[in-house]
Chain A
Amino acid sequence: MPFTIPKERWTAQVQTTTIGAPEADGGTRTSTVTVGGEQTLPFLHFEGETPNPPVIAIEVLDEAPTGWPEPLLKHYQEVLGDPAAWAQKAVAEFGADMICLRLVSANPDGTNASADDCAETIQSVLKAVGVPLIIWGCGDDDKDNEIMPFCSQAAAGERCVLGSATQDNYKTICASALADGHLIVNESPLDINIQKQVNILVTDMGMDLNDIIMYQITGALGYGVEYAYSILERTRLAALGGDKMLQMPMLSIVGSEAWRVKEAWQSEEEAPEWGPLDKRGIMWEVATASLFLHAGTDILVMWHPEAVARLHDLIAELIASPQA
């Protein structure tokens, strides 16, 4: 019996979504990002097309973080507290395809920055870089509902991605995105049914399916990958199987999750059983990101420049045809 490669006949494909608007489309972006369109499980070129490689957004915080470990800190030291410079460095030096701007300063338990301050930050970042933006609130629902309309307005027409809409809190952000021509991230806690529900809720409000990115919560290697990996995989299977409400591109937040993990930052004195510290965090971020890539994610939000470079290489290798 001769051997033939068993192929799946998928009935559908992932949605194609473009982020960022160039001048011709009413924005100021000098580059845009297109994700999605996969006709098969990740990178199985013998079976279907992967027209758009996954992309990497580098996360920029609008105020200096506390407690970053040295191996991470040293790459960003001089730009911390200056989101525009941070974003510029991420694009020019570290090759970010996008910037994921997180407005931590708005948090009422912290600096409690005003909506105007946040809007100003966004404008400065838009000026500093030409790549598309993902703009994320501070995580406090009430405050985010207060600032997001202003933030959205400040970037009107740029086709940014606004984050995030959840089952319990989606109306304000959705209305803002609709008003100003942005996309949104729909978030759910590792639960496909909730993800679908949020997607339905925002489309009921008039959101176009093509303007949605899915985020199903990321857990780091050793701290949730066992769940997140399969949720991504199951969602992608549902998309290829024809479930219209789960066909949007997927996003994974890797940097902040990986570097929060003790294995990434705990000193050699505290944890001699784990070996030297200098590469541990990078490897933790790379390993986490690479697993999600294999599970089907389209957008990786990352921190360490070395990890970003490794993932860019890996994506290039996976998107290429197998070398026979």
Chain B
Amino acid sequence: MALTAMDIYKNLPKTNCGDCGVPTCLAFAMKLAQKQASLDECPHITEEAKEALSGSSAPPMKIITIGTGEKALKIGGETVLFRHEETFHHPCGIAIQVNSNLPEDELRQQISTICETEFDRVGMTFRLDLVALVDNDGNLPAAAAVAQQVSSLPLILVSDDPQAVRAALEVCAEDRPLICAADADNFAEMTGLAQEFSCPLAIRGETLEQLYELSEKALEAGVADLILDSSACDSSSVLQDQTTIRRAAIKEKVKPLGFPTIGIAIGDDEIDKVTSGCELIAKYAGIVVTDLLTRDTLLPLITARLNIYTDPQKPIQVESGVYEVGEPDAKSPVLITTNFSLTYYTVEADVSAGHLDAWIVVVDTEGTSVLTAWAAEDFTPEIIAKTIKECGIEDKVDHRIGVLPGGVAVLSGDLEEASGWQIVVGPRESSGIPAFFKPEYTQRIG
């Protein structure tokens, strides 16, 4: 039977220490009730409480933490098969493969590049999530030592060789790397290492059946933090295995498969790897490992992940109001747009790219794009006029000329009437803004 947040709260320490990542025990209880958190995220919970709560509170797929503190990555904890039923909660980690037999300075260089890689999209910064050190002739421990110093991201130790993994763990176990992987041949040693060093462990099966059996054995042996690898290579097998594992976990509550998965973006070249990565992202992988390193190849993966893990019920929004781009003054142009993050930041980026100084008036359209908002009557002359009057732009500029997106040119007449402003119809696409302004606008205001 599902427990309510109150039932759960009664069993928590009630100290509101915040170590679980939310500010209060009650907030944590609410997350548990919604199966968006796992009990062991509270380090202070008593054994009895754990006993009382664990059966009912555990999400069907366990949340696994790789790394510690600032570096930690949480994956898993998903509760549905289809994202329209409820959003997917923990975006899959993107892990970049690094060969551990690289010369030390190259290794350093590569790891720092991975850690520093950032992508700015819709007002947010996206990063890569893990560094996967791939053992090569027993070089793993040396590489782990370097990575431990250099990497700001959690590590995956990729090796079949328990010897090499042990030596690497002796260097970096306190950072809680993922051990990858235990298979049928090295099972006892690897599970032993996972226990000894308290690190999460990936389990690899040649087939789903074998994966299931190994996972069951690992659980019996007391290793609780697992990641599943079904060794699938071709797209068809990946799809089948990923779907099967997710279904078994969510719908049938099959415990040994109630863990996030790991998969490799495989392919003969970059484009094939991107395709394979997209499949893993869309079809339930918890970690996507890739050796792609260039920004043009990683950008589609980062974007696909953002799309798949965005809740379609809640568009990403910015607050309505007046925004500045560059250093606008009383004579600078005033651009009008909606508060859908994608829309606002697209416009903002285009204005910056054109080195313009401008004011942007952002109308609250409940986070919808210009045309969607127009079609839904959230971007009407009245609503826009109201924003113009109330947002304070009239105190910031001494002209009364606003620029409207070209896609909603039909609004301009009524908007002039409703606002008392002169309305100029801009280009359809904001990428046309720089060209549009250079000659025209200067003349208009000038």
A residues neighboring B (CB under 8 Å): 2-3, 5-6, 41-46, 189, 221-223, 225-227, 229-230, 233-234, 237, 262-263, 266, 270, 273-277, 279-280, 282-284, 286-287, 290-291, 294-295, 306, 310, 313-314, 317-324
Contact = CB atoms under 8 A, between A and B. Distances in A.
B307 A320 contact: no
Nearest to A315: B235
B275 A290 contact: yes
A44 B235 CA distance: 11
Given A6-B248, A318-B236, 16 more contacts: A2-B209, A6-B247, A43-B236, A45-B240, A222-B306, A225-B308, A234-B82, A263-B303, A270-B353, A274-B295, A280-B296, A283-B300, A290-B275, A294-B279, A321-B236, A322-B232
A279 B270 contact: yes
A45 B234 CA distance: 14
Contacts of B198: none
A46 B299 contact: no
A283 B296 contact: yes
A314 B277 CA distance: 13
B209 A287 contact: no
Nearest to A317: B235
Given A6-B248, A6-B252, A234-B84, A273 B120 contact: yes
Contacts of B270: 279, 283
Contacts of B244: 5-6, 46
Nearest to A263: B299
Nearest to B243: A44
B304 interface: yes
B226 to A, nearest CB: 15
Contact of B84 (A222, A230, A262, A319): A230
Interface in B293-334: 294-297, 299-301, 303-304, 306-308, 310, 312
Contacts of B213: 3
A323 B121 CA distance: 38
Interface in B217-257: 232-237, 239-241, 243-244, 247-248, 251-252, 254, 257
A222 B235 contact: no
Contacts of A279: 270-271, 296-297
Contacts of B207: 324
Given A6-B252, A226-B312, A275 B296 contact: yes
B294 A276 contact: yes
Nearest to B316: A226
A44 B431 CA distance: 42
A263 B278 CA distance: 17
A41 to B, nearest CB: 8
Given A229-B282, A230-B82, A43 B275 contact: no
B375 A189 contact: yes
B300 A284 contact: yes
B365 to A, nearest CB: 16
Nearest to B350: A262
B299 A280 contact: yes
A226 B310 contact: yes
Contacts of B119: 273
17 contacts: A3-B248, A5-B208, A5-B248, A6-B247, A41-B243, A45-B236, A221-B300, A229-B83, A229-B308, A274-B299, A275-B299, A310-B271, A317-B235, A318-B235, A319-B236, A322-B236, A322-B237
Nearest to B306: A222
Interface residues of B, number: 56
Most buried by A among B208, B241, B247, B274: B274
Given A225-B307, A227-B312, A283-B271, A262 B279 contact: no
A148 B121 CA distance: 41
A43 B244 CA distance: 13
Contacts of A223: 342
Given A6-B244, A314-B235, A230 B299 contact: no
Interface in B191-208: 207-208
Describe B's contact surface by its main secondary structure.
helix
B272 interface: yes
Nearest to B248: A6
Given A270-B353, A320-B236, A321-B236, A221 B209 contact: no
Contact of B283 (A294, A306, A317): A294
Given A275-B294, A322-B236, A221 B279 contact: no
B346 interface: yes
Contacts of A263: 299, 303
A275 B119 CA distance: 11
Contacts of B283: 294
B28 interface: no
Given A234-B84, A317-B234, A222 B294 contact: no
Contacts of A189: 375
Interface in B139-192: none
A21 to B, nearest CB: 33
Contacts of A318: 235-236, 239
Contacts of A275: 294-297, 299
B379 interface: no
Contacts of B239: 42-44, 294, 318, 322
A320 B234 contact: yes
B212 interface: yes
Nearest 9 CB-CB pairings of A with B? A275-B296, A275-B295, A322-B237, A3-B212, A287-B300, A225-B307, A222-B303, A226-B307, A230-B84
A223 B213 CA distance: 42
Contacts of B274: 283, 286-287
Nearest to A295: B282
Contacts of A282: 271
Contacts of B275: 286-287, 290, 310, 314
B279 A229 contact: no
A222 B307 contact: yes
A44 B240 contact: yes
B74 to A, nearest CB: 21
Contacts of B299: 263, 274-275, 280
Contacts of B209: 2-3
